[in-house]
A and B are shown apart, each in its own frame.
Chain A
């Protein structure tokens, strides 16, 4: 099997996608991802010279404009209904500007 990714690469990706991982999980993920990437090899072996990509099954997507009408939307209460933490009608997160403030 080709080593496409090292454990260090996997740690970097985990940080980027904001998924915390233990060292054991990093090791297993490295094995899994290398195996999956190996299985993708056919895509790299195709002669695709001059072939245009298709990014979407509906090729000719055009921008659609709607009538400029007032419509209902979520109330603040509904928008906050699933928020794990809220305060004063806002989503509440841990302080991002150093220590202090309400938690």
Chain B
């Protein structure tokens, strides 16, 4: 192996690419050493469900060939960078399980666009990452294959649903991972694991080939330990895709204004959020401090109101299950997915297969969505939820007439312990600050701002941008990073080889 102490997964994109360009190590070495490290260091944490060593070696060979040919500069923005993918993203010839028994044996016959774009950009695919079953959860505890542990404290959850992606990056196993976010599933685990996590504006990244949960809410985005790496990864995976009818033509360089600073920026703070029930003092203090730091760097803080945000939670838990109920109807035990053996009757085969294939939270959401869409009930919940969506969107429109981005907490608390939250309605509160952004469709990201004073666990702040002005939040995020530094590798994984 190369003569560097730092594992490749703990390096930045720039460090890896500089080392490759200087021929200090090869992409093949990056791939094999990273696979070995994951095999060794992820055994207990369980971020990865499947490793793709052969695919990584093949991708590395292409990068090494480009270096040999003197064309490394054209090899792509992620050339030679180990990347992991949430297990709801199809990658040809890998299992794509959504952490569900329903798809335990499903092998992807095609590749999702976001994964394809990452590979086209030269990424080395390391494997597939654990998640809450079908992304229903905020802790990774609903994975049918066992939870992922928080790299900062194995007694605690990494957040969810993209918990495997966040843990892998926070532990320095990979510099970049992709996740998906329907109500906070990138931002909350990024906050719990102390890294950067980006949910771009709806339509920036293609959803084609990503197993659908809430089709009007789902959006793919990157995890990384620095704002720049997250921006580089988003550059690679974003872009128009004719296979997703909601994909937008937005040719944006997300790294464009990282160095600009926040001088002259107007940043909104929501007093009602800072006084919200359930927000812990240690998180509140860190978020308030981050706002002051931005002000110190020249930004103007503006108090704003999002008066309808309090309805976002109930709107989300109407819309999400309704869309999930519809999307999960496709699992019929006939074309793919779990099929319970020994049934002479098709109806009995459906019922047994779906009963055994789906876990408790998936069953709850399917049942709830079906109920909420039923005649008579639809007008009480579903239609009003879509009207509330209009109000929430108008709130953001009004706020963004006054400010360039908004700063809020990500999660009301730091990572909780396994089993600590058993009541589903309590678990849903994890997403109280993140879900209104999915409902309105604009961009949001989590940026680490140090540890909570009480728990000594990572705290993230959320930066929210207007739709398709994701560069605004990246600009403020880079300024915060100039104060707090890039995200550290979680201490127990930070030992150098």
Binding site for B on A (CB under 8 A): 5, 9-10, 13-21, 29, 32-33, 35-37, 39-44, 46, 48, 51-58, 61, 64, 66, 74, 78-79, 81-85, 91, 93-96, 103
Q: Which residue of B lies closest to A9 (CB)?
A: B371
- With both beta carbons as reference points, the residue of chain B lying nearest to A38 in the complex is identified as B425
Interface: B480 (CB within 8 A): no
Q: Which of A14, A35, A54 contacts B425, CB < 8 Å? A: A35
Contact of A13 among B333, B334, B367 (CB under 8 A): B367
Q: Which residues of A contact B202 (CB under 8 A)?
A: 57-58
Which residue of A19, A36, A37, A85 contacts B351 across the interface (Cβ within 8 Å)? A19
Q: Do B391 and A51 have beta carbons less than 8 Å apart?
A: yes
A9-B367 Cα distance, complex, nearest whole Å: 11
CB distance from A20 to the nearest CB of B (A): 4
B257 an interface residue at 8 Å Cβ cutoff?
no
Q: Is the interface of A mostly helix, strand, loop or mixed?
A: loop
Inter-chain contact B315/A18, CB cutoff 8 Å: no
Task: Tell me, in angstroms, the Cα distance from A6 to B347 when the chains sit together.
Answer: 24
Q: Give Cα A56 to B333, complex, Å.
A: 30
When distances are taken between beta carbons in the complex, the residues of chain A under 8 Å from B333 are 84
Give chain B residues whose Cβ lies under 8 Å from the Cβ of A83.
Answer: 334-336
How far, in Å, is A34 (CB) from chain B's closest CB?
A: 10
CA of A17 to CA of B423, assembled, Å = 23
Count residues of B near A (Cβ-Cβ below 8 Å).
70
Q: Which of A32, A55, A96 contacts B346 (CB 8 A)?
A: A96
- A contact residues around B25 at 8 Å (CB): none
25 A-B residue contacts at CB 8 Å? A16-B370, A20-B351, A29-B364, A32-B424, A33-B364, A35-B423, A36-B364, A37-B371, A40-B314, A40-B381, A44-B384, A46-B311, A51-B391, A53-B383, A54-B389, A55-B216, A56-B246, A57-B217, A57-B439, A58-B202, A58-B203, A82-B107, A83-B336, A94-B346, A95-B344
**Closest partner residue, chain B, to A52 (CB atom):** B390
CA separation between A85 and B339, bound complex, in Å? Answer: 9
Residues of B within 8 A of A82 (CB): 105-107, 109, 335-337
Do residues A44 and B381 form an inter-chain contact, with CB atoms below 8 A?
yes
> When the two chains form their complex, are residues A93 and B371 in contact, meaning their CB atoms are under 8 A apart?
no
Q: What mask results when residues 244 to 277 of chain B are scored 1 for a CB within 8 Å of chain A, else 0?
A: 0110100000000000000000000000000000
Neighbouring B residues of A52 by C-beta, 8 Å: 387, 390
B72 within 8 A of partner (CB): no
CB-CB under 8 A from A94, the residues of chain B are 343-346, 348-349
Note all chain B residues with C-beta closer than 8 A to A37. 368, 371
Q: Does B350 contact A (CB under 8 A)?
A: yes
Task: Check: B300 CB closer than 8 A to any chain A CB.
Answer: no
Q: Which residues of B contact A (CB under 8 A)?
A: 105-107, 109-110, 202-203, 216-217, 242, 245-246, 248, 310-311, 313-315, 317-318, 325, 329, 333-339, 343-352, 354-355, 358, 363-364, 366-368, 370-371, 374, 380-381, 383-391, 393, 423-425, 428, 439-441, 467
Which single residue of chain A is at the shortest CB-CB distance from B354?
A19
| Minimum distance in angstroms from B362 CB to a CB of chain A | 9
Q: Is the CB of A93 within 8 A of B346?
A: yes
CA of A78 to CA of B314 in the docked complex: distance in angstroms? 41
Chain B residues lying within 8 Å of A18, measured Cβ to Cβ, are 347, 350-351, 354
Residues of A within 8 A of B105 (CB): 82
Known contacts A17-B367, A40-B318: A53-B386 contact under CB 8 Å: yes
The 9 closest A-B pairs by CB, nearest first: A57-B441, A84-B339, A53-B386, A82-B336, A20-B351, A20-B355, A18-B350, A54-B389, A51-B387
Residues of A contacting B343 with CB < 8 Å?
A: 94
Q: How far is the CB of B344 from chain A (nearest CB, A)?
A: 5
Q: How far is the CB of B314 from chain A (nearest CB, A)?
A: 4
Is B109's CB under 8 angstroms from A78's CB?
yes
Complex Cα distance, B315 from A39, in Å, reads 10
CA distance A59 to B333 in the complex (A): 35
